[in-house]
Amino acid sequence: MSIGKDHIITPSSGPGPLMIIGGAEDKLRRREVLTHFVEACGGPEARIAVIATASSLGPEVVEVYDALFRKLGAADVVSVRPESREEAHDPAFVDALSDVTGIYMTGGNQLKLSGVVCGTPFGEAIHAARERGAVIAGTSAGASIQSSHMVAFGVGGTTPKQRMTQVAAGLGLLRNSCVDQHFEQRNRYGRLLMIVAQSPQLIGMGVDEDTAAVVTLEEGREVLRVVGRGAVTLFDPDRMVTNAHEARRSAPLLASGVVLHVLPAGAEFDLDARALIPAEAVVDDSEAAEIAEVGRDLRRLARDIAAGDVSPTTLRRRIARSRRAKATPRPDPTEQSSQTEQTQQDGAST
């Protein structure tokens, strides 16, 4: 899969991208995140499986996404909703993912989703779908489960405190990571910091609402690009100093040396190198032409000063007059002639 300058994902060979959506994605107006997902799945050839296991409103949620994805151009949308680990072992549910081009996991209770899916043939089928190129997307709970370590539940707050959240196993589609969603809107900085303080081998990823962290595998490296209205916040604790191993229950944690990255829409980040990918310079054609013209004027000014005893002020005035003359349109002889004839006719009729 690849993403162009407008961040539109196009199908290609190899593992498919992950779309980690922070919840509350726009369903009524621009629908930027959902549009990207449908186009990534193949647009008019997209066949999408909606997994609403996390939601207590499964049929209603599926109905909403079915209508949305079809309106955005998908060819087919199917509901695949195992409600127990027994059903997650059922070949009927597993085989339903065998030919889809995209999988969309809805929001709800991520611990329920993890408890039903992880470590089952159905969970393995999600991995297999990605390996053959399908797009794996999830919003809210469906975002959290994509990481190797998943926030099970917890409380909000800015200050990291011992035991403010608990962690469970995720699907591990995104390696060595922990994803949190509704990040800025529900003030979840503290609990994600607590997790990386306790597990500094992980990179913490907080995704805002109506925003997607799109992760693609490029030359063996995981590259993250941001799509949507908000930002993706990364905590890199590689050289962090913390007292998480000895802090008392509910006590604020020492967290020093954490590297913070806040990535708005369009930003690109190398997750393996843990480094920002510099944006390519974009040149405005009209601005470039104006700069070139100014350069020519300056060179002519320098030549004229060197050739004669004329002050720079006088030469600048000459250049300005020359520009005004070029900008003033010359009268059209044909138009002048027709105006003269019209005047003569008016005089004759009078």
**241-290 confidence digits (pLDDT tens):** 999 999 998 899 999 999 999 999 999 999 999 999 998 877 677 887 88
pTM over 0.75: yes
Catalytic residue among 36, 149, 182, 261: 182
Q: pLDDT category, 329, cuts 50, 70, 90?
A: low
Please write the tens of the pLDDT for every residue from 211-229.
999 999 999 999 999 999 9
Q: Cβ-count burial of 300 within 10 angstroms (0-12 exposed, 13-18 middle, 19+ buried)?
A: middle
Residue 4: band (very low, low, confident or very high) from pLDDT cuts 50, 70, 90: very low
The predicted pLDDT at position 321 comes to 78
Give the tens place of pLDDT for each residue, 53-63. 999 999 999 99
Q: Which residues contact 260 (CB under 8 A, 6 or more apart)?
A: 233, 234, 235, 236
Residue-level pLDDT at 65:
98
pLDDT-based confidence at residue 1 (cuts at 50, 70, 90): very low
Give the residue among 61, 60, 84, 47 at the shortest CA–CA distance from 140: 61
Q: How far is CA 299 from the centre of its chain?
A: 45
Quote the CA–CA distance of 88 and 116 in Å, as a whole number.
7
334: pLDDT strictly greater than 80: no
pLDDT band at 2 (very low <50, low <70, confident <90, very high): very low
| Total Cβ atoms within 10 A of residue 335 | 9
Q: What are the sequence ranges of the domains in the chain?
A: 2-277, 283-327
Determine contact, residues 205/233, Cβ cutoff 8 Å: yes
Residue-level pLDDT at 308: 65
Of residues 32, 39, 55, 140, which has the active-site annotation? 140
Span of 6-15, 162-171, 215-224 with lowest mean pLDDT:
6-15
Q: What DSSP letter does each residue of 289-344 carry, written as one string?
A: HHHHHHHHHHHHHHHHHHHSS--HHHHHHHHHHHHHHHHSPPPPHHHHHHHHHHHH
- Among 72, 76, 79, 59, smallest CA distance to 25 is for 72
Q: Residue 230's pLDDT band (boundaries 50, 70, 90)?
A: very high
CATH code for the structural domain at 2-277: 3.40.50.880
Span 102-146, pLDDT tens digits: 999 999 999 999 999 999 999 999 999 999 999 999 999 999 999
Looking at the predicted structure, is the pLDDT value of residue 5 above 70? no
pLDDT tier at 333 (50, 70, 90 boundaries)? Answer: low
User: Over the stretch 175-189, which tens digit does the pLDDT of each residue have?
Assistant: 999 999 999 999 999
Distance CA 65, CA 27 (A): 9
Using CA atoms, how far apart are residues 188 and 275, in angstroms rounded to an integer? 23
209 in catalytic set = yes
**Better-predicted residue by pLDDT, 29 or 299:** 29
> Which residue out of 25, 32, 39, 209 is catalytically annotated?
209
Burial category of 202 from C-beta neighbours within 10 Å (exposed 0-12, middle 13-18, buried 19 and up)? buried
Tell me what pLDDT residue 287 has. 80
87 noted as active-site residue: no
- Average pLDDT of the chain? 90
Structure confidence at residue 239 (pLDDT): 96
Would you call 182 a catalytic residue per the annotation? yes
Of residues 29 and 341, more confidence is placed in 29
pLDDT band with cut points at 50, 70 and 90 for residue 17: very high
